[in-house]
Structure 1
Amino acid sequence: MKRILAAAMIVAATFGIAEAKEWTKVRIGTEGAYPPFNYFDSDNQLQGFDVDIAKALCDEMKVECEFVAQDWEGIIPALIANKYDAIIASMSITPERQEKVDFTEKYYSTPPALIAPSDSELSATDPGTLEGKTIGAQASTTHATFLEDVYKNSTIKLYGTQDEANLDLASGRLDAVAADSVVLSEWLKTDDGACCKMVGPMENDPQYFGDGAGIAVRKGEDDLREMFNKAIAAIRENGTYEKIEAKYFDFSVY
């Protein structure tokens, strides 16, 4: 019997079966280039809806919260490489990403949209209307994948950040830009965005845009994922979520 127990302990150690980790500090990865959800202010401090939600969740979980800024294209590889413990960066929950990481329940959901120069004749967002047009999007996003798969007769130009795509539109090098509707609406209110207009929402296909934005954690870290799920439910119940939402939006993003 002792030999059997010893062998079982060796197997458990080999295959990583262990007690759940006691989390006292959680490192949060975010982009810092996707206003109003995450961005750097004039003092080089991370701000935004994602950041405030992350802080509220850490408070609810009674853990120390540390933020790590990471370029979007490397954000999942850096999580897997243990650069941080979770991604809170407006990441849509999609089947492709679920092959690499685990997700919490959603913490917000907004549809995709298209913007164009103010003098553009575009009035619809379907692939036929955009045929022959050059459309910009941020690389490695659900919007980029959607455009490349569905808008086959358009030229798709990808950028490292959303701001780069928006500024190329303002400079007249693009016919349109696709992104999250809230992100685009906020940019249109800026001086740079005065050049352009909202064309309208795009098809919110769950195959591409998933079930909303969730928090990504490494595969198998179910304890941390469930801690976040309970905290999301708690801040929605106790009014904290609503206060943060009202700080950035005059409508519900859930």
Structure 2
Amino acid sequence: MKITILTLFPKMIEGFFKESIVKRAQDKGLIDIRIVDLREYAVDDYGSVDDRPYGGGVGMVLRADVVWTALNKVKVKSEKSKVKKVITSPKGKLFNQKKAQEFSKLNHLVIIAGHYEGVDERVLEYVDEEISLGDFVMTGGEIAASAIVDSIVRLLPGVLKHEEATQKESFFSTAINQLIGAIGENSILKKLRDKGIKKVQLLEYPQYTRPEEFNGIKVPAVLLSGNHKEVEKWRLKKSFEQTLKKRPDLLV
């Protein structure tokens, strides 16, 4: 897979991709990450890439011609259905695990990191989606772009030593009938099943490691029992309880 990031501040994200799992994925040739400096496509010798907004207002707006020129320089060799161009924006669709999984199946993802007061609206004519990390505003899209890349890379085959780790973490999908079989039927699960809902997303179950007792709090006995079937039931039950307590919206 190839990921290209268009940004005004390459140094903000270059270091991020030189560490940990993302670096190892690049070293293995599993992901090709290219960072494009938008200033290389400035409209004049002064390096101008933005300008004041028409109609007045504070801040500077990233120019459409700068972004368009940079996009045209990005080599897209894959078929159209396996390529996407997105821009980070607080006005975009909320990025989530489902979207990360969708993007991980692409051949090429191009991310434009928005900055300053915003990006000229005409840029949106050349992208497929606006993507947001949440209902808050940052000074730029570099952190958002880095987070998106990280969430995608770990889903690629061969990146993690234990690929099953991505199957039972937060936002994993579980069948309603499987839940009922593990923890019994309750009013919430019955209501979901009656609505015709077959699967729900759950948060990850609680994790423990050594020591077995810390400040008077012991590791649940079932995790020390060696009974894998009971451990699996306990984890599924706790995932449901965690979701109900912390993210009930996932069960709607």
Q: TM-score range by the shorter chain?
A: under 0.3
Flag the structure with higher strand content.
1
- Structure with max Cα Rg: 2
Q: Normalising to structure 2: TM-score of the pair?
A: 0.23
TM-score, with normalisation over the residues of structure 1?
A: 0.23
